[in-house]
Amino acid sequence: MSQAGRTNHVDPGVPDCTRLQGAGDERLVSIVVPCRNEREHIDAFLDSATAQQLPAGWRMEILVADGESDDGTGERIQARAALDARLVPVANPGRIVSTGLNACLARARGAVIVRMDVHTQFAPDYVAQCIAALQRTSADNVGGAWVARGEGAMGQAIAAAFQSRWVVGGALSRDVAYEGEADTVYLGCWPRQTFARVGGFDETLVRNQDDEHNLRLRLTGGRVWQSALIRSWYRPRDALGHLFRQQVQYGYWRPFVMKKHGQPGSVRQLVPAVFVAALVVTAMLAWAWPWPFVGLIAVYATYVLGVSGGAAWPSTAARAGGPASWGKIQRFVSLAPRVFLAVAAYHLGYGLGTWRGLFDLARGRRLSGALAKLTR
């Protein structure tokens, strides 16, 4: 986990993390977890986190930053912490993910920092594989693929769209078999010196703070590594309205990251905004000259239908198994229409959010109220 040859560069827009410059406890891993209003899920998550199988000689502390929950989450964390000294409740008056992560970092004592998420199921050796990947690669951040497992009919459709390479622009972060350098990874695991060098998470960002941190890390000469051995399963939204609002927020905060660094984390992140702009221009032109643009509209529809079918079939095959069968075809026919709606929500939500973010930046960054708050 050597940092030789790296120059310290703490971004002036984020909290100073130079206190993490020391080696920390060499056999202690600090797990950092931001949350808010997770009463229904916090116990299952803590059961999973405390059951992690660590390498021989390693210990862990689990720092949970509660964003002033009003559903009893904070009280439940305190109750669990009274029974397990490894659990450390942390106050997060800022309420959002970035402030929660930084609050945990300020208390972290370990040589290794691992981020976890309440809505994610982790393999029993998740933390052990993170530590092994750091030792094997000497990277500045390591993580696994971002894999979704939906619940219910719509949740499964949203997960199928989430995993489609066509929906996410071929992002390596969705490829469970990929091993190598990447532009970002799901959640993350860092040697503590990474934060001393590049700083903590940008507290002006409600969303995309992880992508921005990885971009900042890479711009200062750091490496991000994705390992196929680091396994977890994310539970996505299970309703179209929730998904659409989430994607609007993700898209909204993208221009703020671009403004800060003068570039996006990846070109694929601009595609939804271009797609929405093309739809608007096509609709305006079709109003005056309808027939020449009927074919173009048909192309758009065919694209979305094709992407939806391509996303639905692998999910159907994975669940049904075996060669093509009538049952598999029935499942595909049932899943595909919902995937179509999910694909539309991903593209339109992210694209519309990006344009709204650009609009607010042009007005002098007067943040839209609902988009400046974290939603689940």
Q: Would you state the structure tokens that stand for residue 311, as one six-digit string?
A: 């996303």
- Co-location of 217 and 296 in the same domain: no
d(CA 98, CA 252): 16
pLDDT recorded at residue 14: 66
- What are the backbone dihedrals phi and psi of residue 25, each rounded to the nearest 5 degrees, phi first? -75, 115
Per-residue DSSP letter, 39: T
- Co-location of 351 and 321 in the same domain: yes
Q: Is a pLDDT exceeding 60 seen at residue 107? A: yes
Query: Which domain covers residue 46, as residue numbers?
Result: 18-145+185-237
- Co-location of 233 and 255 in the same domain: no
pLDDT recorded at residue 316: 47
Residue of 47 and 298 predicted with greater confidence: 47
Arithmetic mean of pLDDT over the chain: 81
Of the segments 97-106, 282-291, 305-314, which one has the largest average pLDDT value?
97-106
Element (H, E) at 130: helix 126-137
- Co-location of 228 and 256 in the same domain: no
- Co-location of 66 and 113 in the same domain: yes
d(CA 103, CA 213): 16
Q: Percent of the chain beyond pLDDT 70? A: 73
What would you measure as the largest C-alpha separation in the chain, in angstroms?
Answer: 72
Q: What's the whole-number mean pLDDT along residues 87-92? A: 96
- Co-location of 72 and 206 in the same domain: yes
Evaluate whether residue 167 is within a structural domain: no
pLDDT recorded at residue 367: 57
pLDDT recorded at residue 130: 97
Of the segments 32-46, 252-266, 302-316, which one has the largest average pLDDT value?
32-46
- Co-location of 24 and 138 in the same domain: yes
- Residue 301's identity, in one-letter code, is A
- Co-location of 335 and 276 in the same domain: yes
Q: Is a pLDDT exceeding 80 seen at residue 325? A: no
Phi-psi region of 282 (alpha: psi -120 to 50; beta: other; left: phi over 0): alpha
Q: Would you state the structure tokens that stand for residue 294, as one six-digit string?
A: 């009927």
Evaluate whether residue 155 is within a structural domain: no
Q: Domain with 82 in it: what CATH number?
A: 3.90.550.10
Evaluate whether residue 12 is within a structural domain: no
- Co-location of 222 and 271 in the same domain: no
d(CA 131, CA 137): 10
Evaluate whether residue 158 is within a structural domain: no
Confidence class for position 350, pLDDT limits 50, 70, 90: confident
Residues 177/182/185/191 CA torsion (nearest 10 deg) = 110
Q: Is a pLDDT exceeding 70 seen at residue 29? A: yes
Report the SS3 class of residue 149.
coil
Q: Is a pLDDT exceeding 80 seen at residue 44? A: yes
Evaluate whether residue 176 is within a structural domain: no
**In 3D, which of 117, 114, 145 has the Cα closest to residue 131?**
114
Residue of 292 and 209 predicted with greater confidence: 209
d(CA 142, CA 78): 30
Number of independent structural domains in the chain: 2
- Co-location of 100 and 205 in the same domain: yes
What tens digit of pLDDT does each residue of 326-348 get?
555 566 666 777 888 888 888 88
pTM confidence score: 0.76
Q: Is a pLDDT exceeding 50 seen at residue 110? A: yes
Element (H, E) at 66: strand 59-66
Q: At what angle do helices 271-288 and 290-320 cross, to 10 degrees?
A: 140
Confidence class for position 28, pLDDT limits 50, 70, 90: very high
Q: Would you state the structure tokens that stand for residue 20, as one six-digit string?
A: 């993490």
- Residue 38's identity, in one-letter code, is E
Evaluate whether residue 294 is within a structural domain: yes
- Co-location of 65 and 192 in the same domain: yes
281 Cβ partners below 8 Å, 6+ apart? none
- Co-location of 219 and 354 in the same domain: no
Residue 28 pairs in a beta bridge with 59
Q: At what angle do helices 326-362 and 290-320 cross, to 10 degrees?
A: 130
Domain boundary among 208, 237, 266: 237
What tens digit of pLDDT does each residue of 172-192 get?
777 888 999 998 899 999 999
**In 3D, which of 101, 40, 14 has the Cα closest to residue 376?**
40
Q: What's the whole-number mean pLDDT along residues 28-33? A: 97
